Structure 1
């Protein structure tokens, strides 16, 4: 594990599917993935080479082709969809949040239903949106709709993805003053910019 430096960033997904990030080593470092080049500059002695950050997260290899295919189907930048999945679940296809968001792109059951995905999977186990391919298709369609709704403004679309489009509209088509949403938008945009390098 690298020494703690101001620009070194770690990330892990806990048992509840919540993604945690920071630049100071957590008290329990088990399961922590160190990301290179996230933020304004890479730490001394570490490279800041673009997409290697996402590629180091567990589950990335399996998720990447699904995310890229879903992005292309919606005419979205694959890097943006990948950044959303990285921030939402750390590419954990089995992630379930305390609020009930599901899978790679943390889709709420109500959102899944809005896009025609409801109930249990064909095998009868989990919600149908837990299927990674279905999950990324729904998440990408929702993200594309939000980008259209907010005239292509990525930050507003991401704020709506996190807090709901009603919250963005309520605050005058601005990022709502919720710390969680503001941090989420910043996190996804940093991951997106890193992937675009």
Structure 2
């Protein structure tokens, strides 16, 4: 009686599939873990962000989300419209902030320094939050489009401040900006709120 030969290749394929599935699951789990996600959502200048967020009563995780979306953490950033630094402040806005803070030594080039930019940007976020009663959607819309536009949208009835949705924002660029900041903000809350 002849022995039956087993096909080693026939047994290897199911094992290979199992190994590949396990590698994929492990890779996905690692990718979803906070240490890996923190590579894509870092928190540079944390001491400065925490200090000024505390001083002006703003969530530091919102501040860092704004920095991520505005400049990708590049302090020397300059937009096509002339906004400068980490939080992409317009020079005229920064000059007004300097006046409000009593900063007589302020110069436009100071916006390229992380500390001054974070201080002024955080102060500005706090003022917008106060004006729009803590509504993050309206605050971020005003940060991007200007508070004058947001006031006009409210006056004209285009936006109901009590029930605002991102989709209600009339400017497409501002809608996209607010969505990006809110997405980053949620990620930062998940990764850094209670590490």
TM-score, scaled to structure 2 = 0.68
Which residues in structure 2 correspond to 1:93-172 (within 5 Å)?
93-116=75-98, 121=107, 127-172=109-154
Displacement of 1:70 in angstroms is 1.5
Instruction: Name the structure 1 match of 2:41.
Output: 54
- Contact 2:65–2:184 (Cα < 8 Å) also in 1: yes
Distance between the aligned counterparts of 2:28 and 2:137, measured in 1? 30
> Structure 2 vs 1, CA of residues 128 and 78 (structure 1 numbering), >3 Å: closer, same or farther?
same
Displacement of 1:176 in angstroms is 3.4
Which 5+ residue runs of structure 2 have no aligned equivalent? 1-26, 160-167, 191-195
Higher strand share: 1
- Contact 1:112–1:118 (Cα < 8 Å) also in 2: no
Give the SS at the match of 1:96: coil
Which 5+ residue runs of structure 1 have no aligned equivalent? 1-42
- Contact 1:119–1:127 (Cα < 8 Å) also in 2: no
- Contact 1:89–1:95 (Cα < 8 Å) also in 2: yes
Instruction: Name the structure 2 match of 1:187.
Output: 180
Distance between the aligned counterparts of 2:133 and 2:33, measured in 1? 31
CA deviations over 1:113-145 (Å, ceiling 9, x no partner):
111168875xxxx62222210111110011000
Distance between the aligned counterparts of 2:147 and 2:126, measured in 1? 13
Q: Does structure 1 residue 88 correspond to structure 2 residue 75?
A: no
Runs of at least 4 residues off by over 3 Å: 117-121, 173-176
TM-score, scaled to structure 1 = 0.67
Distance between the aligned counterparts of 2:134 and 2:106, measured in 1? 33
